[in-house]
């Protein structure tokens, strides 16, 4: 699937305006109205078509490291996810979603705005740098109490899209989940069910809405223990 097709496929997910920056940029008209900035789909297409400068991305990553850690493994106290080794295209999609307030988080919407990341090139540079960082083998995990149930849920409801090892799919913009922080995974699962991740609801609600609390905890625990290249088998 080409970049243009992928961009068209996520246009319904990427709309709206960035709280801090999407209304900025472009000169005002004679009546004082500001010209609209690029749409979300245009921003994403520009990011994906840019030739990244990894060295420039490394310099800009200092801002990200304050919350995600110098190694990109996430910080428990900041409740931030591991981003090191994530597919660059997935990271680009998420930053554009924050930029246009399709995905909600005050700090990330601010960082992704044109006040800080002023151009698609800067986004391309950062995501290229983050993608080449070594992914964490394991960050935070759960109690193992419900991991067997989580493994079964993953095999029947998640594996087809996210892969046997939760490795994701860069071409299809499916994120790598293996080794992600347990607390972050569980929070995202709950936010989908609570309607706070609207861009994921159409795809994920059907898979998640009948799961009980134990299955959600087990699913997050199981995924957090997976590592790329090593399929985790957990006794039931």
Domain boundaries, the chain: 3-131, 147-224
Other C-beta atoms closer than 10 Å to the C-beta of 5 total 8
- The highest-level CATH class for domain 147-224 is mainly alpha
Confidence at residue 193, expressed as pLDDT on a 0 to 100 scale: 93
Contact 38, 46 (CB under 8 A): yes
* pTM (predicted TM-score): 0.81
Token pair for 49 = 């078509």
Return d(Cα 95, Cα 157) in angstroms, integer.
26
pLDDT tens digits for 131-168? 999 998 778 999 999 999 999 999 999 999 999 999 99
DSSP 136: P
Asked if residue 72 has pLDDT above 90, the reply is yes
Dihedral of CA atoms 81, 87, 91, 93 in degrees, nearest 10, equals -130
- The highest-level CATH class for domain 3-131 is mainly alpha
């Amino acid at each position: 699937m080409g970049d243009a097709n992928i961009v068209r496929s996520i246009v319904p997910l990427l709309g709206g305006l960035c709280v801090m920056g999407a209304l900025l940029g472009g000169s005002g008209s004679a009546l004082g109205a500001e010209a609209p900035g690029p749409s979300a789909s245009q921003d994403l297409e520009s990011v994906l078509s840019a030739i990244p400068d990894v060295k420039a991305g490394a310099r800009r990553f200092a801002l990200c490291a304050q919350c995600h850690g110098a190694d990109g493994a996430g910080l428990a106290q900041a409740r931030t996810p591991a981003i090191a080794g994530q597919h660059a295209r997935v990271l680009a999609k998420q930053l554009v979603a924050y930029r246009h307030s399709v995905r909600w988080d005050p700090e990330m919407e601010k960082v992704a705005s044109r006040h800080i990341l002023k151009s698609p090139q800067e986004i391309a540079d950062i995501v290229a740098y983050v993608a080449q960082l070594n992914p964490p083998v394991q960050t935070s995990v759960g109690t193992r109490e419900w991991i067997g149930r989580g493994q079964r849920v993953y095999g029947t409801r998640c594996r087809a899209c996210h892969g046997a090892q939760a490795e994701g799919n860069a071409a299809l913009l499916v994120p790598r989940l293996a080794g992600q922080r347990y607390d972050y995974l569980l929070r995202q699962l709950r936010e989908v069910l609570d309607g706070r991740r609207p861009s994921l609801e159409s795809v994920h609600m059907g898979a998640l809405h009948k799961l009980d609390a134990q299955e959600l905890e087990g699913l997050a625990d199981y995924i957090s223990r997976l590592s790329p290249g090593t399929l985790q088998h957990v006794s039931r």
